[in-house]
Structure 1
């Protein structure tokens, strides 16, 4: 790959290569392809690492690494993505093992001091050359990453860092696998699920004794916590949800935090948080601590007002139902009374509102809005191969030129073993290939919305519509990026910026015109009434104090785990809940699903605050 120039970019207008991804690999094929990918990629690194200083050139060093990175990224995603989405447990297991082997290989290649030295030599050789800005940035980033791997340190220290990095990658993979494979089911009677709508109850499977099965997946957990008026049911579900995989993941979390601290120390940082923040605008954990403290202070009065309102609603609820009132808000009360604030203060009935947001209508409206906003056209590829029959594939073109832009998959419904959050996975980077042509970008949006049944369509809560719009914004960011190098394609931007496009684009779900375009009543297709729309839009400010104070709690715990020695996650979470949120944490709550990957390594773009 030669240094890209402006004229080369202008000439790179032939049709985009198609997607190189396939989803029909068996467990054995995944294992075999993993070994071949490692062998092929290692040959390139060996060749670069063996170059004599006088033979160094852009083409045989940076160009060679950039070229193999494109191919490796696509093949790697094809091998490790099935662990999150495949309906076959054997394939998921093979994909998880492939991820572990490839992650270990990633560590090995990131610790290649011979390759790092060749990049240093190249920088010296090209010091006064006219590299394009992105090529220069690629060169500088490789050197920066080399130093952050300790390649400037003694060999003995490098070996310690290498072993830690390998262990960290395995722990992160196992942690998330445990969550994805969780199959916890809680049986409840209809009375114990009081307050939940009939369409929700009728969608639940039954035990042999006739009780209803509640899982800990999003389509069960969130509606139950918002609408069930039986406090004990909410308490049980909240505790179980936040204690998923507690035994195994507690041990993983402790080891993760310890190893991160050791690696940071070997690299000359005071703690792991400072190591991570070096690449962010904040630069150090003291800046973060000051920001969080200042924000918490500004939100304190609003939080107190919102807690007082919720307590008054709880008193009324207890009086109406003949329940004892203990004068306190508990963790299992929060979502319920946040919903009650919307219903009483803003007169927003979420059960009524969701009837205007059937999945098909929301999807059509969302796709239409994004096409109009970004000047694109989407075309559904009927019968396109995918990893599950529910998945749809769309081809994307520039509306003006007809140029292919990329493709995206929509995988919207939960199933056993599937990734449990909402996330955008980049599957194929949009970037230049060695011949100067542009490879199209491919992404997948993976979510867990309520699946339609024979008797009921998939109806979305408004906050689910917002999540849909937000995550699809990441898909568009992935596809519309015009980077030269795979390392900078799509959402592979500076961490401080990665949420900005989606947070801007999700604002459309709070405006009347786009809301009308993505809503009609599922029974008779009548439009959503103006009065209901106005109430919904006004409710945007509901609970903002407590919501953001909870975000500060999560950030504080994350910082504590990665700045203090031997900080206990549950104890720290309980302390920050009391101090900042004013709502005590559930005793024995684990909460590891948030922090384990908050300072993790290779993960898809995802929004962990949903947990």
Structure 2
């Protein structure tokens, strides 16, 4: 509920409960006597005839406890636990600030030239008749992709990029970087990337850096070629629509230009494609696909949730018809959701 409740009071209360739960969970995870018993059991997994899944779970469970510092001395454990708690709290705050962003743009119809009439009909208006735009979620993707007016795309991109700044997200991001570095150092790693990739195939930051650098070197010629084509299409489109445009390719241009290229070169019109994929049909096909792939059955049920537009589905296993869980399906983003 800390992530989806429409009432901010409920979100705040449940978040504080989540934090307390994580603190208790952290204390339990550092109980050395329990860890030693499990490590001893893991060493004898052939004796207790562990399945492949059980053995894998046990190995990773113990690995994760080591990464939480269970083998460190008590003082270092306390330091690491404090760092992880602060890291978790500031991460929560960062995403809460994004979800609770209240900034909107008020734009007239001329500023939204190029977007579909159906989208405009879905928007609310202010007293002056301007459309109210929420610079996040569906509004952002629709306008940044289809709007012919570069100044509008620029305004929207700036508003989207600055979400959460009232809650000082830039400062939080800096703090998170410092905390991650300190966590890694406490665990004996040169950087947080080294710490995070230690359990992955890459194993260290150097391997990741080399992979990305090699990839960048190979893709750079293609990037230069595509950028020239994108700029050409942008300027051509500006000339056709008689809109004022900058003579460089900007970050807020890419989605728009790619959509234009799809229409010009491949005759692909995303607005027309939508007509062939009504929501009800797509949902039905999606459930049929996962039912076939996972051996599950999805049955719509009546159940109270945090919002009226959230639909509930009971998920059953086709083999034994036992209930595997309940799927809550909400398509309309709400302010405060994460």
TM-score (norm 1): 0.52
Structure 2: which 5+ residue stretches go unaligned? none
Q: Distance in 2 between matches of 1:114 and 1:256?
A: 32
1:315 is the counterpart of 2:196:
no
Aligned pair partner of 1:93 in 1, 4, 12: 12
Q: Distance in 1 between matches of 2:57 and 2:297?
A: 32
Alpha-carbon deviations, 1:3-42, whole Å to 9, x = none? xxxxxxxxxxxxxxxxxxxxxxxxxxxxxxxxxxxxxxxx
After superposition, the Cα gap between the structure-2 partners of 1:351 and 1:123, relative to the gap in structure 1 and judged at 3 Å, is closer
Q: Distance in 1 between matches of 2:121 and 2:79?
A: 56
Higher mean C-alpha displacement, 209-218 vs 400-409: 400-409
After superposition, the Cα gap between the structure-2 partners of 1:153 and 1:352, relative to the gap in structure 1 and judged at 3 Å, is same
Aligned pair partner of 1:168 in 87, 100, 107: 87
1:418 is the counterpart of 2:337:
yes
Q: Distance in 1 between matches of 2:221 and 2:275?
A: 36
- Which secondary structure does the structure 1 equivalent of 2:235 belong to? helix
Q: Distance in 2 between matches of 1:374 and 1:156?
A: 47
Q: Distance in 2 between matches of 1:404 and 1:107?
A: 31
1:103 is the counterpart of 2:22:
yes
- Which secondary structure does the structure 2 equivalent of 1:379 belong to? strand
The question of whether the paired residues in 2 share the 8 Å contact of 1:111 and 1:162 is answered with: no
Q: Distance in 1 between matches of 2:183 and 2:46?
A: 32
The question of whether the paired residues in 2 share the 8 Å contact of 1:185 and 1:216 is answered with: yes
Q: Distance in 1 between matches of 2:23 and 2:29?
A: 10
Alpha-carbon deviations, 1:276-314, whole Å to 9, x = none? 101111111111111112222232233223222211111
Residue 281 of structure 1 is matched in structure 2 by 201
Residue 127 of structure 2 is matched in structure 1 by 208
The question of whether the paired residues in 2 share the 8 Å contact of 1:103 and 1:169 is answered with: no
Instruction: Report the CA distance between 1:194 and its aligned residue.
Output: 1.2
Residue 447 of structure 1 is matched in structure 2 by none
TM-score (norm 2): 0.92
- Which secondary structure does the structure 2 equivalent of 1:83 belong to? coil
After superposition, the Cα gap between the structure-2 partners of 1:312 and 1:391, relative to the gap in structure 1 and judged at 3 Å, is same
Residue 276 of structure 2 is matched in structure 1 by 356
After superposition, the Cα gap between the structure-2 partners of 1:326 and 1:174, relative to the gap in structure 1 and judged at 3 Å, is closer
Instruction: Report the CA distance between 1:124 and its aligned residue.
Output: 5.3
Q: Distance in 2 between matches of 1:185 and 1:326?
A: 24
Residue 251 of structure 1 is matched in structure 2 by 171
Alpha-carbon deviations, 1:327-377, whole Å to 9, x = none? 310011111101101111111111222122221121122222333444433
Q: Distance in 1 between matches of 2:20 and 2:294?
A: 39
Residue 268 of structure 1 is matched in structure 2 by 188
Alpha-carbon deviations, 1:426-445, whole Å to 9, x = none? xxxxxxxxxxxxxxxxxxxx
Residue 40 of structure 1 is matched in structure 2 by none
Instruction: Report the CA distance between 1:320 and its aligned residue.
Output: 2.3
The question of whether the paired residues in 1 share the 8 Å contact of 2:148 and 2:241 is answered with: no
Residue 541 of structure 1 is matched in structure 2 by none
After superposition, the Cα gap between the structure-2 partners of 1:211 and 1:274, relative to the gap in structure 1 and judged at 3 Å, is same
After superposition, the Cα gap between the structure-2 partners of 1:279 and 1:199, relative to the gap in structure 1 and judged at 3 Å, is same
Q: Distance in 1 between matches of 2:317 and 2:77?
A: 47
The question of whether the paired residues in 2 share the 8 Å contact of 1:264 and 1:272 is answered with: yes
Instruction: Report the CA distance between 1:315 and its aligned residue.
Output: 1.7
Q: Distance in 2 between matches of 1:366 and 1:134?
A: 29
Aligned pair partner of 2:34 in 95, 110, 115: 115
Residue 223 of structure 2 is matched in structure 1 by 303
- Which secondary structure does the structure 1 equivalent of 2:106 belong to? strand
Alpha-carbon deviations, 1:79-136, whole Å to 9, x = none? xxx1111122221111111122122222222233333233334445667553333333
After superposition, the Cα gap between the structure-2 partners of 1:380 and 1:210, relative to the gap in structure 1 and judged at 3 Å, is same
Alpha-carbon deviations, 1:153-206, whole Å to 9, x = none? 222211211111111111111111111111211111111111112111121111
After superposition, the Cα gap between the structure-2 partners of 1:147 and 1:209, relative to the gap in structure 1 and judged at 3 Å, is same
Q: Distance in 2 between matches of 1:392 and 1:175?
A: 28
Residue 141 of structure 1 is matched in structure 2 by 60
Residue 98 of structure 2 is matched in structure 1 by 179
1:159 is the counterpart of 2:78:
yes
1:69-84 equivalent positions in 2, closer than 5 A: 82-84=1-3
After superposition, the Cα gap between the structure-2 partners of 1:290 and 1:352, relative to the gap in structure 1 and judged at 3 Å, is same
After superposition, the Cα gap between the structure-2 partners of 1:375 and 1:127, relative to the gap in structure 1 and judged at 3 Å, is closer
Q: Distance in 1 between matches of 2:285 and 2:46?
A: 51
Q: Distance in 2 between matches of 1:373 and 1:142?
A: 28
The question of whether the paired residues in 2 share the 8 Å contact of 1:86 and 1:418 is answered with: yes
Q: Distance in 1 between matches of 2:28 and 2:320?
A: 40
How many pairs were matched up?
A: 337
After superposition, the Cα gap between the structure-2 partners of 1:118 and 1:293, relative to the gap in structure 1 and judged at 3 Å, is same
What do you get for the CA RMSD once the two structures are aligned?
A: 2.1
Q: Distance in 1 between matches of 2:123 and 2:204?
A: 48
After superposition, the Cα gap between the structure-2 partners of 1:208 and 1:353, relative to the gap in structure 1 and judged at 3 Å, is same
Instruction: Report the CA distance between 1:215 and its aligned residue.
Output: 0.2
Q: Distance in 2 between matches of 1:344 and 1:84?
A: 41
Q: Distance in 2 between matches of 1:400 and 1:152?
A: 43
After superposition, the Cα gap between the structure-2 partners of 1:402 and 1:122, relative to the gap in structure 1 and judged at 3 Å, is closer
